[in-house]
Amino acid sequence: MTQNLSVGDSALATALSQFDRAVHMLGINGGTAAMLRTCKRELTVNFPVRMDDGSVKVFTGYRIHHSTVRGPCKGGIRYSPHVTLDEVRALAMWMTWKCAVVNIPYGGAKGGVLVDTKKHSLRELEGITRRYATEISLFIDPSGDIPAPDMGTNAQTMAWIMDTYSMHRGYSVPAIVTGKPINIGGSAGRHEATGRGVMFTVREAYKTLNWDFSKARVAVQGFGNVGSISAQTAYEMGCSVVGVSDIEGGLYNSDGIDIPELIAYRRQHGSFKGYSKGKFITNDELLSCDCDVLVPAAMENQLTQHTAGSVKARMVAEGANGPTTPEGDEILNAKGVIVLPDILCNAGGVVTSYFEWVQDLQQLFWEEDDITKRLERIMIRSFHDVYDKSKALNTDLRTGAQCLGIGRVAESHITRGLYP
């Protein structure tokens, strides 16, 4: 099942290019580097599900473990008609570095199902999820691999996985997934964690650079879990949120958007369309809009050789995983744009997932205020760890973060030694 990674998919090409650069800087030896460049286990499942009209459709899904050196694997499950094996490999690898950057005891994993959620009823999605969970139950385990939501999945998806796994065991196993609803063992603050973590990181970066955070004008691409909470947190922190977007396009208002009002409008109407207090813009226009902080929070490969040149922001805060290609990075670095890399900036989700897992294992639940304070402390500490590493190596924050994460995993690997 184990397979060497090769450059084929663009997210994977990005992940490997970043890895090679960091490993070269760290001077990590051939055997250790080769191991870290490779996913440990890969599972592909093809499974039938009955549709509402009585027909049977076969779906394909993946679950990949990149590393278990520092602890159980952790990573989300993505539902998208475009998911590829290489994309899941890249995302699993980023999870390993991310968990090491924020210094929590996990390795990286990721999963995906080729499905367009918009084309299925809730009952069909439940059937797909329960069967996928059964197929990957070979791989998942509260002390081995703990899935979580990602693009196209949510707390309800996690509830179905938890229930399916628990039915097979004969007792409730809340620690099998994180990002669950609170009434079945989810954690307060998990839903908000990634977006809050993004803005804690931006605020700390502003402070460290002696920039005035109260004047920050923020634009956010993507308005799902990460995007909408980043926008809401920025608004609550007193920033002016001037632009937002989702897959259908965006909205721009140089005077700032009332985010709570927009969220309520979108909940009622299903999109930004018709909201009058802003100009309707395309997604490309959102990326190049006049702002100080750009938060790509939709998907990978958004800031590329074609789009990075027109970015006007002075800071890019990566809410999404892999939103900037290596070519995009070069352009942004040359322009002096500060890029807060994904494996640092969006780590708030996995940090709070870790809190959820710990609470489930202990059957002892914490207050949201306590969780948010712990998250804030870890994000601030991790920002400084990355900042200091990039200063010490005289490099950008992404390479600093990669070197920090990869270096920690390599050290753990060396300490454990090679079996047998």
- Phi and psi at residue 395, in whole multiples of 5°? -140, 180
Residue closer to ligand NAD (CB basis): 71 or 250: 250
User: Judged by CB under 6 A, does residue 221 bind ligand NAD?
Assistant: yes
- Maximum distance among all Cα pairs of the chain, rounded to whole angstroms: 66
DSSP 119: G
Contact yes or no for 42/349 (Cβ under 8 A): no
Residue closer to ligand NAD (CB basis): 225 or 324: 225
- Cα gap 152→113, rounded to integer Å: 10
Residue 305 beta carbon to ligand NAD: minimum distance, rounded to whole angstroms: 17
Q: Which of 271, 336, 342, 273 is nearest to 302 (CA)?
A: 342
User: Judged by CB under 6 A, does residue 283 bind ligand NAD?
Assistant: yes
Residue 316 beta carbon to ligand NAD: minimum distance, rounded to whole angstroms: 14
Residue 262 beta carbon to ligand NAD: minimum distance, rounded to whole angstroms: 13
Q: Residue 41 to residues 2, 105, 178, 296, 405: CA-CA distances in angstroms?
A: 5, 19, 21, 30, 20
Per CB under 6 A, the list member of 62, 223, 357, 387 interacting with ligand NAD is: 223
Residue closer to ligand NAD (CB basis): 234 or 320: 320
Structure tokens at 77: 């499950």
Residue closer to ligand NAD (CB basis): 295 or 406: 295
- Phi and psi at residue 301, in whole multiples of 5°? 60, 45
Q: Residue 335 to residues 111, 309, 339, 347: CA-CA distances in angstroms?
A: 35, 8, 11, 26
Structure tokens at 299: 């998907």
Q: Which of residues 346-375 bind ligand NAD (CB under 6 A)?
A: 346, 349
Q: Which of residues 301-320 bind ligand NAD (CB under 6 A)?
A: 319-320
Size of the site for ligand NAD (CB under 6 A): 24
Residue whose beta carbon is closest to ligand NAD: 224
Q: Which stretch binds ligand NAD (CB under 6 A): 48-56, 136-144, 200-208, 240-248?
A: 240-248
Residue 356 beta carbon to ligand NAD: minimum distance, rounded to whole angstroms: 11
List all residues 6 or more positions away from 105 whose beta carbon is below 8 Å from its beta carbon: 70, 71, 72, 99, 354
Q: Which of 54, 75, 91 is nearest to 323 (CA)?
A: 91
Residue closer to ligand NAD (CB basis): 61 or 149: 149
CA 402 to mean position of chain CA atoms: 15
Residue closer to ligand NAD (CB basis): 69 or 83: 83
User: Judged by CB under 6 A, does residue 108 bind ligand NAD?
Assistant: no
Residue 38 beta carbon to ligand NAD: minimum distance, rounded to whole angstroms: 22
Q: Which of 40, 65, 80, 5 is nearest to 299 (CA)?
A: 80
Q: Does the annotation count 110 as an active-site position?
A: yes
Pairing of strands 279-281, 293-296: unpaired
User: Judged by CB under 6 A, does residue 298 bind ligand NAD?
Assistant: yes
Name the active-site residue from 98, 110, 180, 389. Answer: 110
Contact yes or no for 348/375 (Cβ under 8 A): yes
Residues 133-172, mask of contacts with ligand NAD (x by CB under 6 A): ----------------xxxx--------------------
Residues 242-281, mask of contacts with ligand NAD (x by CB under 6 A): ---xxx----------------------------------
Residue 180 beta carbon to ligand NAD: minimum distance, rounded to whole angstroms: 13
Residue 170 beta carbon to ligand NAD: minimum distance, rounded to whole angstroms: 30
Q: Is 77 exposed, middle or buried (0-12, 13-18, 19+ CB in 10 A)?
A: buried
User: Judged by CB under 6 A, does residue 192 bind ligand NAD?
Assistant: no
> Catalytic amino acids?
110
Interacting residues toward ligand NAD by CB under 6 A: 149-152, 194, 221-227, 245-247, 283, 297-299, 319-321, 346, 349
